[in-house]
Chain A
Amino acid sequence: MAFDYAPAPESRAVVDLASSYGLFIGGEFVDGSGSSFKSISPATEEVLAEVAEATEADADKAVAAARRAYARTWSTMPGSERAKYLYRIARIIQERSRELAVLESLDNGKPIREARDVDVPLVAAYFFYYAGWADKLEYAAPSWQPDGSRGSAPAPLGVAAQVIPWNFPLLMLAWKVAPALACGNTVVLKPAETTALTALFFGEICQQADLPPGVVNIITGAGETGRALVAHPDVDKVAFTGSTEVGKEIARAVAGTKKSLTLELGGKAANIVFDDAPIDQAVEGVVNGIFFNQGHVCCAGSRLLVQESVFDDVMTRLKRRMKTLRVGDPLDKNTDVGAINSPQQLAKIQELTAVGEAEGAQRWSAPCDLPDRGYWFAPTVFTEVSQAHRIAREEIFGPVLSVLTFRTPAEAVEKANNTPFGLSAGVWTDKGSLILWMANQLRAGVVWANTFNQFDPTSPFGGYKESGYGREGGRHGLEAYLAH
C-alpha cells in the first residue's frame, strides 16, 4: 500500500526580509555607490531582495573601515575579550538558527533539513570553537625557539579580504570569519552574488553582538567586486573558496605583493568501495557523498571507484536507493535534494552531462517529477566511464556521479590520484589495515574512512595540488591568520 508523505513545508514567516539591502561597512548598513542586483530563490525564481553591487570605491571604504578597526580596537584587544564577542555571535546564531536555516534554504535552494541539521549547527560550532582559541594563540603557534629562547608572540596579519562561494554561504562565512577574528584580524567579506542574504543577516548579528564597528565588513557583488577587493593595496591577507579557475586568477593578482594567501578550490574526489565494505552503509555514503547539497560540494565524492567483483551489487543497491531520493521544494522538511543554485550552474551541469553521453558513458537518472519553475536536475549516475572522459576529470558541481571500476588496491590508488585535484577521498572497507594504507597513498587533504562529507571545527580541511593550499578548521586553521 502506497505511503505518500503529505507536504510538510517549513514556515517562511520566521524570516523578515527587507526589499533591498545595502553594504555592511563600519558597523552600519550603507548604500552602495553603484547599481544593484536581484537575489532570487532558485526553487521558484521569485525575487527575494535587491542587493547592492559594490564598486571599487565601496571596497576601498570597507577596507578603510577594517583598517581603522584593526588599528584602534581589535588588534590590541586582549584575546579573552575577543573571545567574548565570538561566543556572543555563536550564541545569537543558535538563537536565530531557525530563521537562518529558512533563509539559507530560500536563497540557496538547499533542503531545509540540511540547512537546519548541518549548515547552521556547524556555523555556530565553528564560532564556538575559534572563540576558545582567541586567548590561547601562544599554544596554537608557540613562539619558543629550539634554543629555549622566546621569539615573537603570534600576531594577527591585519585586514583580511575573504571571498566565499554560494554552496554553503553561511558555513563558508564561518570558516573564514571565525578564525580571522579569533586571531585579531579584521575582515572584509564578499559573499557570492547569488547567495548574499544570510551574510547580510550575519551583519545584523554582528550589530546585535555589539561587535566594534569595522571588525566585520560585508560587501556584495559579483566578480568585479571580488577583483577590486582582492587587489586592494591595503589588504594583508586574501582567503578564497571557489573555483580553481578563479583561484588561479587570484593567485596571479596577489603574486609579488605582501599579501598572504589561502585557497580552497575545486575537487573531483574518489569514493572507493572495496568488496568487503559494509555494503549498505557504503551505498548510503556514496549517496551522501554526491547528492548532499545537490552535489554543490567542493569535496563531493563525484567519482565512485568500485571493486569489480561487487560492481553489479553496488549499482543495484545504488539505483534502488536513488529512487527513494525526494527531489523538490527545498522548504519541505522531507526533501532530500533541492534546487540547482543558478541557471548558469544548471547550464554547466547540462553541458557536461551531454558531453558524458556523447563520449559513450551510460546515463541513468532517478525517476522523479521536477517542478516547472526554478532550476532542477535529477540525481544522475554514469557508468562505463573511463579516466579519459570529461565527466571523470572535470568538476561538475552538481548531482552527477561517475562510476569507474578497479581490481586491486594499487589500481584504485592510481585512478583516485590521477586528477589535477586533491581535496578529499573516501575509502570503504571492513579491513583496518587497508584503510591506513590507502590513507597514506591518497593525495587528498581529507580522507574519510567508512563515511563521507563529515565536517567538524576541530578538523583541518584543505587541498593538495589544484584543490588549493592552506588549511581551514582546527588549530591548523589559525596559522593562515597569524604572522610569526
Chain B
Amino acid sequence: MAAPVLSAPDDEELVSTPSALRRFLRGLPGVDQVGCEARAATLASRSIKTTAKAQALDLAVSMIDLTTLEGQDTTGKVRALCAKAQRPDPTDPSCPSVAAVCVYPDLVSAARTALGNSGVAVASVATAFPSGRAALEVKLRDTADAIAAGATEIDMVIDRGAFLSGDFTKVHEEIAAVRAACATSDGQAAAHLKVILETGELMTYDNVRRASWLAMLAGADFIKTSTGKVQPAATLPVTLVMLEAVRDFADATGRQVGVKAAGGISTAKDAIRYLVMVNETVGDDWLTPHLFRFGASRLLNDLLMQRSKLATGRYAGHDYFTLD
C-alpha cells in the first residue's frame, strides 16, 4: 500500500483516535526481511576509494555525536571529550569538528562550559534513558533539566512496552509532550528532538517502520536507532528501513527528518557503508550533519587513523590517537 499523502489537517485526523492511528500504522507497506537484508548487503559491497574515501571520512567525522553514557562518567572525562570534539586531530587543522557531544543530563552544564561557542552542540539523553520506564512527569522534568543546563539536542527514548502492546497513542502522546518541552514559551524550538526507537527491542522491521512513522508524526526532528545499551544496536538493514521511512515521510509531507545510527558502529569502513546507504536511499540531501548522525565513541579514532593513513600512506600506531 502506498504511504498516503499527508497534509497538516490530515495529520491531526490520523492521530485523533487510537484506532485511526493504529489503522494508519498497520496499513504501512510491510518489509520483507530477506529482501531488506539482501539490499543492505549489496550496498555494503560498494568500494569507496581515494578521493571519495577522503570525502566520506571527513563527512563521517562531522556527523558524529561523540558520546559518553556511563555511570562512571566525570566532569573531567566530559571536558576531555569536548576538547576532542572541537579539534579531533590536534595536528591537523583541516580535520572537521564533530557535530555534538552527547552526555547524561547532569553533565550537560560541564559540556556546555567546555564547548562554549565552538559550534559543537550539546546533546543530552533524557526521559529516563535508557529504559524509559518512568512516569511522564519525570521524563518531562528530565528533559527540562537538560535544556535548562544548556542542551540544544534531546535524545529521548520511546516507551517500548507501550509500543509492543499496541498502545501507539500513548507513545505518540509522550513524544509530543517531550516535543513541547523542547520548545520555548514562544513556541520556538529550544532543542532538537531525536527519538530513540531502540530497534533491538522492536524485533521486526515492520515495527521499525511503524515506530519511525509514529515518531515523525509526533514531531521528531531525528529518529535514532538505539540507546547503545541493548544488542543489537544499529544495523545496516534497520537503518535502511528508517531511511526509507524518512524518505517516504518527506515525499508525503515535505518535512525532512534526520536519522541517527547509534551503537556498535566502530570502524571507518562501517561508517562509509552507512553513508553509501544514505546516498543511495534518500539521496545526498541527507549527507549533512543536520540530517544524518552517528552516535559513537570509538568510531572517531578509527576515522582519524584512516584519515592520516590516506594523507601519509602509513598507519600510525594506536598511541598516536587520544583515548577519550
Contact = CB atoms under 8 A, between A and B. Distances in A.
A, B co-complexed: yes
Interface string B52-85: 1101100100000000000000000000000000
A3 B47 CA distance: 13
Interface stretch (A63-71, A178-186, A273-281): A273-281
Contacts of A6: 48-53
A282 B46 CA distance: 22
Contacts of B49: 6-8
Contacts of A225: none
Interface in A310-355: 310, 312-313, 324, 333-334
B284 A310 contact: no
* Top 9 closest pairs, chain A to chain B, by CB: A281-B35, A8-B47, A313-B2, A278-B32, A333-B47, A281-B32, A279-B29, A6-B52, A278-B30
B125 interface: no
Interface of chain A: mostly helix, strand, loop or mixed = loop
A1 B1 CA distance: 32
B149 interface: no
Interface of chain B: mostly helix, strand, loop or mixed = helix
A310 B38 CA distance: 24
B191 interface: no
Q: Which of B2, B36, B288 has the most CB of A within 10 A?
A: B2
A278 B46 CA distance: 25
A280 B31 CA distance: 7
Nearest to A277: B29
B244 interface: yes
Nearest to A336: B42
Contacts of B280: 324
A450 B35 contact: yes
Contacts of A333: 45-47
Q: Which of B3, B34, B56 has the most CB of A within 10 A?
A: B34
Given A278-B35, A450-B35, A3 B244 contact: no
B322 interface: no
A333 B46 CA distance: 7
A281 B34 CA distance: 9
Interface residues of A, number: 29
Interface residues of B, number: 31
A126 B3 CA distance: 42
Given A1-B288, A334-B47, A284 B35 contact: yes
Nearest to A452: B35
A281 B1 contact: no
Nearest to A428: B32
Interface in B96-112: none
B113 interface: no
Nearest to B37: A281
A18 interface: no
Nearest to A313: B2
A280 B59 contact: no
B50 A430 contact: no
Q: Which of A2, A275, A279 has the most CB of B within 10 A?
A: A279
B236 interface: no
Contacts of A324: 280
Nearest to B209: A280
Interface in A1-33: 1-8
Contacts of A7: 49
Interface in B267-281: 275, 279-280
27 contacts: A1-B59, A1-B288, A2-B284, A3-B52, A5-B47, A5-B52, A6-B49, A6-B53, A7-B49, A8-B48, A117-B45, A276-B1, A276-B29, A277-B29, A277-B30, A278-B32, A278-B35, A279-B2, A281-B31, A282-B35, A284-B39, A313-B2, A324-B280, A334-B47, A450-B35, A451-B34, A451-B35
